[in-house]
Amino acid sequence: MTPEKIISDIKKGYFKPVYWLEGEENFFIDQVIDYAEDQILSEGEKAFNLTVFYGRDTAWPDVINACRRYPMFAERQVVIIKEAQDLKGIDKLESYVEKPLLSTLLFIGYKGKRVDGRTKMAKLLKDKASLMTTKKMYDTALPEWTGELIKSKGFTITKKALFLLIDHIGNDLNRLSNEVDKLALNLKNTTKITEDEIEKFVGVSKEFNVFELQQAIAQRDLYKAIRIVTYFGANPKAAPLQLVFPSLYNFFSKVQMVYTVPSKDEKTVASAIGANAWFVKEYMTCATKFKYEEIEKLLLLLYEYNLRNLGVNDAGTGDSELMKEMVVKMITPM
């Protein structure tokens, strides 16, 4: 079950008495919980028919008592348990899940965990409830997901702007969603998001960022790469090494995988190396600039300089100097 399906069914009037929302991706759990809290009941109905519990501060008998109340001046009531993973004795809700009150909609946000499939509770949830299990979104799925989110707001986004946004935020769907909302709020005279809007409203330099650095290295453009690294040195918060190294490693490890694919078709290569089709062209282009052995050495350099940044075999070289030294070795023919 997906959050979109649950919300769509509720809008159509198809209700389940219990909604168990579990797993690793809090964004999707919050999406359903927020809808239940804000949209199911009218403002007038909420005063008597909306009850919100927080797991850490709640006793399980209070939840059952609230669920067994009948709605007042409304067809149904909504009971929500936020952070239900912190509710002691949550298994005691079995008796209610087994025989729920049909006029109560119970939403349980069970974050970071999954109900044990061997338990009675798990079997009851499959039979009696709407069960949504979420997984952390893979990085390769972020461009498509973010692009669809932006499209749903009535906007389009360039490839570079999309990369800048994702690379800056990372795999945090709540923050990505908030930044997209901020962009939608601020864009007045255009529906197209470019790197200019990302720079202005998100705060990422369109000229000096990790994306531009990896492109400079991939194109063996030493002058541009040194300019970017120098900017990073003068603006440490723009691109900390702890973020730069993983981004470069992810990029060039994908490039390394390109050599193993005999096809030159972008979709085939993307599928074979587990990359997003949005960016596979960059990997393939880089593979024409470097030999396989050079990419291997480049990845080893990243490993070496990451260790040096952590203080291994290094007496305290500054971040900027480490980056300049590494970039020169990466771009200079090996």
Q: What is the CATH number of the domain that holds 305?
A: 1.20.272.10
Residue 236 DSSP one-character state: G
Domain at 70, CATH number: 3.40.50.300
pLDDT at 334: 64
Short-list 157, 146, 169, CA closest to 193 = 157
pLDDT at 264: 87
* Residue 77 and residue 59 share a domain: yes
* Residue 187 and residue 111 share a domain: no
Examine the fold and report which residue of 152, 178, 202 is the final residue of a domain before the chain moves on.
202
* Residue 148 and residue 129 share a domain: no
Ranges in the chain, pLDDT < 50:
none
158 three-class SS:
coil
81 three-class SS:
strand
Residue 219 lies in a domain: no
pLDDT at 45: 95
Tell me how far CA of residue 17 lies from CA of 13, 94, 103, 203, in angstroms: 12, 13, 7, 44
Count of structural domains within the chain: 3
**130-134 and 156-157 beta bridge pairing:** unpaired
Examine the fold and report which residue of 76, 108, 134 is the final residue of a domain before the chain moves on.
134
The tally of CA atoms less than 13 A away on the side-chain side of residue 271 is 6
CA distance 49 to 42: 10
pLDDT at 148: 92
Residue 197 lies in a domain: yes
CA distance 58 to 61: 9
Residue 116 lies in a domain: yes
Can you give the residue range of the structural domain that contains 167?
139-202
